[in-house]
């Protein structure tokens, strides 16, 4: 949450988590984001905390 509101690209998320260059990682990141949402959101289909920024990436909200 130290970066709340900051948008992270899919490539940036992949490279920071797996410590390797990103290559077609959209599906990999999306699956992990979905699993995180299932754990932290009350209604994962209408996320309050972990949001997508269409065409850019993902961000965390307070």
Parse the chain into domains and list their residue ranges.
8-60
Closest C-alpha among 52, 23, 1 to residue 11: 23
pTM here is 0.83
Element (H, E) at 33: helix 26-40
Q: Token pair 């269409």 is at which residue?
A: 54
Sign of CA dihedral 34, 32, 54, 47: positive
Q: pLDDT per residue over 1-43, tens digit each?
A: 788 899 999 999 999 999 999 888 888 999 999 999 999 999 9
The second-level CATH assignment, the architecture, of 8-60 is: Orthogonal Bundle (1.10)
């Amino acid at each position: 949450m130290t970066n709340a509101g900051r948008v992270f690209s899919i490539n940036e998320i992949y490279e920071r988590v797996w410590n390797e260059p990103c290559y077609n990682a959209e599906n990999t990141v999306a699956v992990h984001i979905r699993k995180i949402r299932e754990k932290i959101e009350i209604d994962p289909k209408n996320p309050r905390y972990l949001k997508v920024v269409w065409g850019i990436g993902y961000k965390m909200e307070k």
